[in-house]
Structure 1
Amino acid sequence: MGMMSNNMRIGGLASGMDIDSLVNDLMKAERIPLDKMKQDQTWLTWQRDAYREINTKLSEFQNMFMDMKLSHAYQSKTTISSQEGAVTAIATNGAQEGTYSIEVTELASKAMNVSQQGISDGDTKIDPDAVLETQSFKNAPQSGTLEFSTFDENGNETVHSVNVDVTQDSLNDVLNRISENSDGEVRAFYDANSDKVFLERTKSGDFNTDESRYLGSEIGFDGQTNSSFLTDTLQIKNGTYNNQSGQWEPNEVGGTNAEFNYNGLQLESFTNEYTLNDVNFKLTNTTEGTAFIDVSNDKNATVDKITEFVDKYNEIIETITEKTSEERHRDYPPLTDAQKEEMTEREIELWEEKAVSGVLRNDNILQSGLSDMRSAWYETVDTGNEDYNRLADLGITTSSNYRDNGKLVFNEGKFREAIENNPDAVRNLLSNSSDGDDRGLINRVEDSLKNTMDFVSEKAGTELRTEQQYSMGRELISMEKQISEFERRLQQVESRYWDQFTQMEKAIQQMNQQSAYLMQQFGGGQ
């Protein structure tokens, strides 16, 4: 029993008919077009998702193109050092193959100065986080300005100022400010064990080569500058007077340049790195005599990259071929909700395996995309070298097995020979962003791949697009509207059926009443 249009539904009490079942059966027939619409909607959703899966795979493949287009992919260099504990090297693409000799006599070091003695007064050490005036220093600090200098690579002096307020600042506040106000050029820290403060240049090298300035120190201060906080309170002296020589000698240590001999040329560097002829040398120790660096082309890195690229391309071919030739089982349409209710999960799974098969069968976008990519590989490139103007010249050919659908076969031996003989020609053949006849094969394949991906996105969208922004999405919106309208019509049809049966029941009831009345009359007349 149910209510509709405020009319009582009469379920066959008068006629003896099962009106509920009758209406349900009639509605099943009415609902057949709706089931078909929903199945079409499911099929289209499956198709869209299958397209997107393909596009994800194509996108993974596309990510490999950037690596393949860079020149270092074809000219990777490897280096071997005869004294790895003292000097190593990284060679960039421009580096010439050969042996480089280097003798390191001194490493670059950072300048450092330290308190000449403990700064605390007595056995109780100061607390570097407490306000200065509350602590017992050998020489009590005074509020004011602390000044010190650093030098750049050209020997130019920069004076840095730090304000000290003994009523508010702690020692660590002042030390942190030394770093901040020098833009990180100087680092300062207190070591509680030794009760000393360390001042350190953060860069290695000898920048102050003028010994008349602060005795040639890299962190410059003396009696002529506002530096009593450093010299008195922190006991950091710029120099010590040598009575024997009658000279001031710097207390600062380090601040040296790296000194080395490169292929017979004497050189210096502020740091322990130096780049010459596209070889970047890293110095970690002085050498024992001369060290030798061998630079050669690293064929393995290039071969590995090409192998990985070819494998991914073949995987793409396999996926698209499989999807476009998959069998379509028309006897297994998508299941309706009612059908699913009558099936086990395993039955549903097995059914849908067959139902979803063939969603991209003979798909024109994917088949023509594959065809375009295959064609791009076969084209001739004007490399300026007739020995290397087709893919086959690099030992990369198309499989002769027609079932492989144009997969590539990689002859590693032939490719190694090509990369050894002429790495530039190999690179020009595979990668060149020019738009003319000399455009590289990988660039051409990427063009066709991008076109295919754009077509797929236009049709099936992406996670980021709304349904309005791709054709299948607009179709799904339209289907949803049709389904909603049809469901509204079904409700009206069901109401109409119930109205009709209710009228029939009322008529039968009326006839039964009249019949009973007549029978009564006749019976009464006897």
Structure 2
Amino acid sequence: MTTINSNRITGLATGMDIDEMVTNMLTGEQSKIDKAEQKKQTQTWQQEIYRDVITDVKGLYDKYFTATSADYILGTKTFSTVSVKSYNSDVITATAGASAGNVNYKFKVTAMAEPAKLESDRIVKDDAISESESTININGKEITIAAGSKVSDLVKSINNTFTNGDVKASYSEMTGKLTIETKATGRDSKLEFDGELFTDLGMSTNGTGSVNGSNSYIEVYSSDGRTLVNTIEEKSNSFTIDDITYNITGRSDDLISMISTKDTQGTVDKMKEFIEEYNSMIDNIYGLVTEKKDSDYPPLTDAQKEEMSETEIEKWESKAKTGILRNDSELRRFLDDMKATLLGEIEGAWVSLNDIGITSVSDYNKPGQIALDEDKFKKALEENGDQVYKVVTGTLEKMKKVTYNYAGGSSSIFAKKAGIEKTATVVNNLFSEQIKKQEEYIKNLITKMEDKQEKLYLKFASLESSMNSLNSQMSYLTSSLS
């Protein structure tokens, strides 16, 4: 209990234990302070538990619904049941999407797609490339070259002019050559130039003109290599045909076999992993809103903690935290919204989640959780991979929206209630405001108790003074009569 530092009488004249009497007389005030402290502790625990929930929900979002994550689950790659093997991956590789079919062909890469490019004669790195100030023009942009500039200065000037990287200059110390090229590849890419410097550097015979890039050119043959099936000409070295993305990294006069195989297990494992983490999150939150509070275990007061061991305190507080978020409205709504994502049809999909082996758990104690029939899901992938992709990703997109709305950022529902670390909401949230108000309330209660305490000691001091005076008179009378 809070005490006041002052010179207080000891009760020698009255024979009373004044400190104990004052303490007993302030029991009501101390009880109010203890209850207010317990309420503050409960609010602090509620905020801490809420932030753990935010971590779980945002963790699920970041891991599975963020495109840059290695575990991103919404891309076609996750639902691809086709794996394409290249027998010369230095020249060509392929990645199948969700609706890709089987392939068994031989490819001949005659040419790669190239950018529009200019290349100089050999230039000595530290030699001046311009004796006097001059200008050049590249794709309509004028660039000034100072007198005495070196090749490094030219490279810097060009790259600073094209900050978006549409045109890039580079110098190789190995070859001693300057290269200027477009970012885009293909026949439509163009590099227009003008300036005597281009002639001086051996890039042009007359200092003006334009160059174009070139397309990639690939011949596709039957699996035995005898029949030409198709010729492919693309402006890029990466292109998609029949939901298979091909990447060209070199050329070869040899025929290169590309053969696909079915592989559904990877997709099954990824879906199983997601469902397990999803169910764990839902189960934890459901437990928080349904567990009953044990009124026999309120937060401990400081006085109670002094009489207990650390182990006893930990066990007590573990029970005291139980049920403090029972029927929390925001957590309840989150569970309802997540459960709703499993309902309704998905546009473009003519199968349902149930059709592909994804259902709600039948146990009524596990509402909102998901069950996966692996065999049924695997069969659906093999037979209707594109439909599986549509219905699953359509459902997951709804989950993504809900998780973001509740825990995706500082404006989310949970952040406004409990706050997210390293954001402004860490102090600007409902629980922090409640805790701050409770601290002010406790401070006022302590001030009132201290005022009452001081008044009680003053009264006992007056009583002690009176008793001292009375004792002196009695002593005088006794001595007078003896």
Q: 2:196 aligns to what SS in structure 1?
A: coil
Distance across 2 between alignment mates of 1:201 and 1:355? 71
Asked if residue 316 in structure 1 is aligned to residue 281 in structure 2, the reply is yes
From the superposition, tell whether residues 142 and 443 of structure 1 become closer, same or farther in structure 2 (CA, over 3 Å).
closer
* Cα shift at 1:404: 4.9
Q: Is the CA contact 2:186–2:234 (under 8 Å) kept in the aligned structure 1? A: no
Counterpart AA for 1:419: L
Does the Cα contact within 8 Å between 1:39 and 1:336 map onto a contact in 2? yes
- What SS does the aligned partner of 1:202 have? strand
Matched ranges for 1:154-169 at <5 A: 162-166=144-148, 169=149
Q: Which residue of 2 aligns with 1:226?
A: 196
Cα distance change of structure 1 residues 515 and 353 upon mapping to structure 2, 3 Å threshold: same
CA drift of 1:368 comes to: 6.4
Give the equivalent residue in structure 2 for 1:360: 325
- For 1:242, the equivalent position in structure 2 comes to none
| 1:414 correspondence with 2:419 | no
How far apart, in 1, do the equivalents of 2:380 and 2:331 lie?
A: 33
Q: Hey, what does 2:223 align to over in structure 1? A: none
Distance 1:265 1:331, change over 3 A: closer
- CA positional deviation for 1:290: 3.2
- Match of 1:397? 359
Is residue 199 of structure 1 aligned with residue 199 of structure 2?
no
State the match for 1:485 in structure 2.
444
What is the DSSP-based 3-state SS (H/G/I as helix, E as strand, rest coil) of the residue aligned with 2:474?
helix
Over 3 Å counting, the alpha-carbon distance change for 1:417 and 1:23 in structure 2 is: same
For 1:412 and 1:295, locate their aligned partners in 2 and report how far apart those are by CA, in whole Å.
23
How far 1:502 moved relative to its partner? 0.8
TM-score under structure 2 normalisation? 0.74
Q: How does 1:116-515 map to 2 (within 5 A)?
A: 127-128=126-127, 132=128, 142-145=131-134, 162-166=144-148, 169-170=149-150, 172-174=152-154, 176-177=156-157, 185=167, 187=169, 189=171, 191=173, 197-203=176-182, 226-227=196-197, 231=200, 236=202, 258-262=216-220, 264-266=229-231, 272-276=237-241, 279-294=244-259, 299-326=264-291, 328-361=293-326, 363=328, 366=331, 369-370=334-335, 373-374=338-339, 377=342, 379=343, 381=345, 388-389=351-352, 391-400=353-362, 404=366, 407-432=369-394, 440=395, 443=398, 460=418, 462=420, 464-465=424-425, 469-470=429-430, 472-473=431-432, 475-515=434-474
| Structure 1 letter corresponding to 2:383 | N
1:246-278, Cα deviation, whole Å (9 max, x unpaired) = xxxxxxxx9876443346555555664455555
What residue ranges of structure 2 are gaps of 5+ in the alignment? 67-71, 206-211, 221-227
Match status 1:10 vs 2:9:
yes
Structure 2 letter corresponding to 1:35:
D
Q: Structure 2 vs 1, CA of residues 404 and 83 (structure 1 numbering), >3 Å: closer, same or farther?
A: same
Between the aligned partners of 2:39 and 2:230, the Cα distance in structure 1 is 79
CA distance in 2, matches of 1:92, 1:57: 30
State the Cα deviation string for residues 22-48 of structure 1 (Å, max 9, x = none): 323433454122212211221232123
Q: Is the 8 A contact 2:338 2:368 kept in 1?
A: no
**SS in structure 2 at match of 1:302:** helix
Q: 1:44 to 1:258 in 2, by over 3 A?
A: closer
Number of residue pairs matched by the alignment: 453
Whole-angstrom distance in 2 between the partners of 1:361 and 1:81: 57
What 5-or-longer segments of structure 1 have no aligned partner? 120-125, 133-139, 151-156, 210-216, 240-253, 433-439
Structure 1 Cα separation of the partners of residues 153 and 418 of structure 2: 61
Could you tell me the percent identity over the aligned residues?
26
- SS in structure 2 opposite 1:420? helix
Take 1:206 and 1:374, find their aligned partners in 2: how far apart are those partners?
A: 49
Contact 1:314–1:408 (CA under 8 A) maintained in structure 2: yes
Residue among 67, 84, 87 paired with 2:89: 84
**SS at 1:422's partner residue?**
helix
Q: Does the C-alpha gap of structure 1 residues 114 and 44 become closer, same or farther in structure 2, counting only changes over 3 Å?
A: closer
Residue identity opposite 2:132 in structure 1: S
**C-alpha separation between the residues in 1 aligned to 2:155 and 2:48?**
61
